[in-house]
Amino acid sequence: MSCGLRKSDDGESGMSEKPETRWGRIGIVIAIATAMALMATYAVLSLSNSSGRDRLQTACASLLNVLNPPGSTFERVGANMSASDTVARLLYVINRPGAGPSRAVILCAFEDVPVYGQHPKLVAVSLNGLQLGPARLSFLNRFWLQSVESAAALPSGAPDLEQKS
């Protein structure tokens, strides 16, 4: 017993294909659309994750503005992230006013990779092997990382001088 429509005996044709074939094609179209939607979601999440990494590195680099005397300049010479994307290690050459250039390693551990619109939360910071205490971390989280100056910092960590009015 078949549910499909076939040519009738008098030569008049009904539907040219069986309903099973039509449903099969619809299923294929739905499967392709689902696969494309999943690939697009993966691409967006990957972009968001790399964007989150960049934001953590920029937030970490921006701490150099607070931890060094005013007028210091910074040149990034290296950077890497932990496998969990929550720890940034940045290598810099810092030129402090009245002093020669010096190499610096800043290590920042964050609570989690922030989603768009959220500020990163520091859980530990080390500059040249010296760890900041809990009071300084609290200050940095509350007053620096949520400030306009921190948000305007360039990826190098230097302040964005062109944005100042």
Is the model more confident about 143 or about 17?
Answer: 143
Q: pLDDT per residue over 33-81, tens digit each?
A: 887 777 766 555 444 444 667 778 888 888 888 888 888 888 888 888 7
Q: Cα separations (Å) of 19 from 2, 3, 23?
A: 10, 8, 6
Higher-confidence position of 27 and 136 = 136
pLDDT above 90 (res 134): yes
The strand pairing partners of 76, in sequence order, are 92
Asked if 103 and 113 count as a contact pair (C-beta separation under 8 A), the reply is: no
Whole-number pLDDT of residue 46: 45
Q: Which of helix, strand or coil describes residue 26?
A: helix
With cut-offs at 50, 70 and 90, classify the pLDDT of residue 117: low
pLDDT above 70: percentage of residues in the chain: 67
- Cα–Cα distance between 149 and 146 in angstroms, integer? 9
Under 8 Å between Cβ of 96 and 103: no
pLDDT digits (tens, 9 = 90+) for 95-109: 888 888 999 899 999
pTM: 0.59
pLDDT value of position 145: 83
Q: Classify residue 87 as exposed, middle or buried by CB count within 10 Å of its CB (0-12, 13-18, 19+).
A: middle
Closest CA to 125 of 93, 157, 87, 153: 87
| Terminal C-alpha separation, the chain | 81
Query: Over the chain, what is the mean pLDDT?
Result: 75
Residue 150 pLDDT greater than 60, yes or no = yes
